[in-house]
Amino acid sequence: MNVEALRAALLHWYDAAARDLPWRVGPREHAAGVRADPYRVWLSEVMLQQTTVPHATPYFLKFTTRWPTVGDLAAAPDADVMAAWAGLGYYARARNLLACARAVARDHRGVFPDTEEGLRALPGLGPYTAAAVGAIAFDLPTNVVDGNVERVMARLFAVEAPLPDAKPELKRLAGGLIRDHRPGDWAQALMDLGATVCRPRAPLCDRCPVAAHCAGLATGAPESYPRKTAKAERPHRHGAAFILTHGSRIALVRRPPKGLLGGMLALPTTDWRATSWGEAEAVGAAPAQAAWRSVGEVEHGFTHFTLTLRLLRADVDVSAASRDLIWTPRRDLDALPSVFLKAARAGLSNLL
Ligand code: SF4
């Protein structure tokens, strides 16, 4: 493979076709000496590990409007940040986000370290994010490899070893393409290629700037890369969620600080287990005695398992219910994590 020709083709394409992203300094401004704000780069990278650009963008704008600097975020109350994160999923990341912001504010006077090692030493900042912030914000020649870059490498080099075993090989191949020339633009060009052209299911090879260098395309079936080993099925769990209402208010609880959805507001639920909950059994575990009615169920997919929640609803007298309940106006339910928002909406509407 002619690495220099491939690099020139991809950077040339990036100069013309770079995505316009709210955290990005585009290639033209970058060439004129404008540097990306490390805070914005870091925040966007943490959010993008969860979700897609269209889903992350409103969150990014909300965070940076409310907390324009890492010092502002560091000073924010935990509950405000967790509530603003709701809907992005994987809440451990929101806790790590705060820990990292506070370390930058406290230990580095609000300035992100400008080396990969310094970034890596920040709490909750993993090797991928350190490499990405290093490349994009500081123009360091780091090797920024996520699932998109792995896919592009597997196709460019027609790597036959399946994922996840192929990961070290894919990283090594990506590393072989890095030079000191424009490392930040290079990292972002690869990201854009993976997101807009070398897409997971249907790569747009006829529009690809590096098609002439692609061994996967030469096989005639580039979409069959990366090879994958058969996936184990995600386990399934069952629970019951209780929708207690009183007038225009609904009862929520705060989940314990550790574990899945730790520290987040939630509907009261039973344990989540492998076998389903019968109605009578679920009523026995309810947080209040009331005339419970079954109002359907919802399914939700987490990273490591799927969940079916049986929904039970009742109107209750606040004084007869547990004191641990947080009575919340229904219009404020948007601060709930997706699984509980979905359950609350279904439970409230199914009875109408
Ligand atoms: Fe991906 Fe197709 Fe480009 Fe190869 S030619 S890098 S498979 S889009």
Mutate to test the pocket of ligand 1, among 192, 198, 201, 223 (most ligand atoms within 8 A of CB): 198
Residue 230 reports pLDDT greater than 80:
no
Whole-angstrom distance, CA of residue 195 vs CA of residue 160: 22
| pLDDT band of 350, cuts 50, 70, 90 | low
Burial 63-92 (b: 16+ CB within 10 A, else e): bbeebebbbbbbebeeeebbbbbbbbbbbe
| pTM of this prediction exceeds 0.75 | no
Q: How far is the CA of 261 from the centre of ligand 1 (A)?
A: 38
Structure tokens at 151: 């896919």
- Going by the DSSP 8-state scheme, the letter that residue 231 receives in this structure is P
Where do the DSSP E strands lie in the chain?
236-246, 249-254, 265-266, 293-301, 306-315, 326-329
Least Cα distance to 293 among 316, 271, 272 occurs for 316
Whole-angstrom distance, CA of residue 103 vs CA of residue 258: 20
Q: Kindly state the percentage of the chain with pLDDT values over 90.
A: 79
- Residue owning the nearest CA to atom 4 of ligand 1: 214
Residue 287 reports pLDDT greater than 70:
yes
Question: Which one from 29, 45, 281, 299 is the annotated catalytic residue?
Answer: 45
Structure tokens at 342: 């979905």
Whole-angstrom distance, CA of residue 72 vs CA of residue 269: 35
Quick one: how many helices (H) and strands (E) in the chain? 15, 6
pLDDT tens, residue by residue, 39-76 = 999 999 999 986 889 999 999 999 999 999 999 999 99
Comparing 94 with 204, the larger pLDDT belongs to 204
Q: How far is the CA of 232 from the centre of ligand 1 (A)?
A: 28
Whole-angstrom distance, CA of residue 58 vs CA of residue 35: 23
Q: What's residue 198's pLDDT?
A: 98
Mutate to test the pocket of ligand 1, among 149, 208, 219 (most ligand atoms within 8 A of CB): 208
Residue 141 reports pLDDT greater than 70:
yes
**What is the dihedral angle through the alpha carbons of 155, 160, 165, 168, rounded to the nearest 10 degrees?**
-50
Residue 320 reports pLDDT greater than 80:
no
Classify residue 147 as left (phi > 0), alpha (psi -120 to 50) or beta. alpha
What 325-329 contacts at long range (C-beta under 8 Å, 24+ apart), as own/partner pairs, is 325/244, 325/251, 325/252, 325/253, 325/268, 325/287, 326/251, 326/252, 326/253, 326/254, 326/265, 327/246, 327/249, 327/250, 327/251, 327/252, 328/249, 328/250, 328/251, 328/252, 328/265, 329/248, 329/249
Give Dmax (Cα) for the chain: 75
Structure tokens at 138: 């500081």
Q: Is the CB of residue 86 below 6 angstroms from any atom belonging to ligand 1? A: no
- Residue owning the nearest CA to atom 5 of ligand 1: 211
Q: What's residue 289's pLDDT?
A: 86
Residue 351 reports pLDDT greater than 80:
no
Q: Is the CB of residue 152 below 6 angstroms from any atom belonging to ligand 1? A: yes
Q: Is the CB of residue 155 below 6 angstroms from any atom belonging to ligand 1? A: yes
Whole-angstrom distance, CA of residue 244 vs CA of residue 230: 43
Q: Is the CB of residue 205 below 6 angstroms from any atom belonging to ligand 1? A: yes
Q: What's residue 12's pLDDT?
A: 98
Domains and CATH numbers, the chain: 3-144+178-195 (1.10.340.30), 236-347 (3.90.79.10)
| Mean pLDDT for the stretch of residues 325-352 | 86
Q: Which atom of ligand 1 is closest in space to residue 214's alpha carbon?
A: 4
Q: Is 45 labeled as catalytic in the residue annotation?
A: yes
Q: How far is the CA of 199 from the centre of ligand 1 (A)?
A: 9
Q: Which atom of ligand 1 is closest in space to residue 222's alpha carbon?
A: 7
Q: Which atom of ligand 1 is closest in space to residue 203's alpha carbon?
A: 8
Q: How far is the CA of 153 from the centre of ligand 1 (A)?
A: 9
- Residue owning the nearest CA to atom 7 of ligand 1: 222
| 63-67, 75-79, 208-212, 346-350: the lowest-pLDDT one | 346-350
CA distances from 147 to 49, 167, 179, 227, 249 (A): 10, 9, 21, 13, 43
Give the 3-state secondary structure of residue 326. strand
Q: Is the CB of residue 10 below 6 angstroms from any atom belonging to ligand 1? A: no
Whole-angstrom distance, CA of residue 33 vs CA of residue 45: 22
Amino acid residing at 130:
A
With a CB cutoff of 8 Å and minimum separation 6, the contacts of 29 are none
Q: How far is the CA of 143 from the centre of ligand 1 (A)?
A: 20
pLDDT tens, residue by residue, 77-133 = 999 999 999 888 777 788 899 999 999 999 999 999 999 999 999 998 999 999 999
- Residue owning the nearest CA to atom 1 of ligand 1: 198
Q: How far is the CA of 264 from the centre of ligand 1 (A)?
A: 42
Q: Kindly state the percentage of the chain with pLDDT values over 70.
A: 99
| Mean pLDDT for the stretch of residues 326-352 | 86
Average pLDDT in the chain: 93
Structure tokens at 111: 């300035």
Q: What's residue 352's pLDDT?
A: 39
Q: How far is the CA of 9 from the centre of ligand 1 (A)?
A: 13
Q: Which atom of ligand 1 is closest in space to residue 151's alpha carbon?
A: 1
Q: Is the CB of residue 149 below 6 angstroms from any atom belonging to ligand 1? A: no
Whole-angstrom distance, CA of residue 192 vs CA of residue 298: 35
Q: What's residue 188's pLDDT?
A: 97
